C-alpha cells in the first residue's frame, strides 16, 4: 500500500483507487507556484475554519488572508458565509460542498464569477471524509482542474496536499508562509 501513496492518510480512506495520489508539499513556496500558475483559482472554505484556532486566530482568518493575498475568489460552504460577513468579506459564491464539487466537474461551467471554470481549487476546513469523497470525484471526473488541500491531514485524492501535521505551530507556519509568499510574488 505504501507504494501507491507516499504517506498514509491520518483518517481511514480508500487509497487503492489508482496509481495517482497527491503530491505531498510542505514548502509554502511550492504551493504558491501552483497558485500563481493558475489562471482562475478558487478557494473553498469549509465550516471547520470557524471552529479551529491557530494561535490567537481562527482558521477562517488565514483563509481570508490567502484569498486576499492571491486575489482568489471565495466559495463559502455551510455556515462560513455568516462568519465571512462578520469579517466584512462578501464571498463570491455560496454553495454546499457537494454542489460546488458537481459544478467543478462540468467543463462548461462558467465559474463563480462567470469568467470560466476554475483550473485550481484550494480546499480548507472541510470534514476529511467529505473532502476525500469530493476530491476523489474531482480526481476521476474533472481532469481539467488541479486540487490543493491546505488542511493539516494528508488527502491522497488531491493533486497537492500537506502531509499529516500533528503540531499546530507547523501548520500555522505553512499557512503564514503561503500568505507571505503570495504577497511578495
The domains of the chain are located at: 23-184
User: What does DSSP assign to residue 13?
Assistant: -
pLDDT at 32: 97
pLDDT at 18: 59
Query: Which CATH number does 23-184 carry?
Result: 3.40.50.1220
pLDDT at 3: 40
Residues 83 and 60 sit within 8 Å (Cβ to Cβ): yes
Give the max Cα distance, the chain: 46
pLDDT at 13: 53
pLDDT at 17: 54
pLDDT at 21: 81
- Please report, in tens digits, the pLDDT of each residue of the chain (185 residues total): 334 444 555 555 555 555 678 899 999 999 999 999 999 999 999 999 999 999 999 999 999 999 999 999 999 998 999 999 999 999 999 999 999 999 999 999 999 999 999 999 999 999 998 999 999 999 999 999 999 999 999 998 999 999 999 999 999 999 999 999 999 86
Q: How far are the Cα atoms of 26, 41, 56, 94, 134 from residue 80, in angstroms, in the given order?
A: 26, 19, 19, 9, 18
DSSP output for 15-73: --S-S--PEE---HHHHHHHHHH-SSEEEEE-GGGGT-EETTEEHHHHHHHHHHHHT--
Q: Give the three cell numbers for residue 42.
A: 478558487
Amino acid at each position: 500500500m505504501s507504494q501507491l501513496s507516499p504517506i498514509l492518510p491520518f483518517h481511514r480512506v480508500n487509497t487503492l483507487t489508482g496509481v495517482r495520489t497527491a503530491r505531498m508539499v510542505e514548502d509554502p513556496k511550492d504551493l504558491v507556484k501552483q497558485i500563481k500558475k493558475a489562471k482562475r483559482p478558487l478557494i473553498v472554505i469549509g465550516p471547520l475554519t470557524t471552529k479551529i484556532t491557530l494561535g490567537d486566530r481562527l482558521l477562517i482568518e488565514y483563509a481570508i488572508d490567502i484569498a486576499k493575498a492571491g486575489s482568489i475568489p471565495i466559495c463559502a460552504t455551510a455556515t462560513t458565509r455568516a462568519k465571512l460577513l462578520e469579517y466584512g468579506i462578501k464571498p463570491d459564491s455560496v454553495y454546499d460542498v457537494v454542489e460546488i464539487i458537481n459544478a467543478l466537474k462540468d467543463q462548461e461551467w462558467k465559474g463563480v464569477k462567470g469568467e470560466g471554470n476554475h483550473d485550481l481549487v484550494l480546499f480548507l476546513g472541510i470534514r476529511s471524509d467529505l473532502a476525500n469523497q469530493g476530491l476523489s470525484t474531482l480526481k476521476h471526473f474533472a481532469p481539467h482542474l488541479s486540487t490543493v488541500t491546505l488542511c493539516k491531514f494528508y488527502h491522497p485524492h488531491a493533486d497537492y496536499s500537506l502531509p499529516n501535521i500533528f503540531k499546530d505551530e507547523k501548520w500555522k507556519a505553512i499557512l503564514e508562509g503561503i500568505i507571505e509568499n503570495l504577497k511578495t510574488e
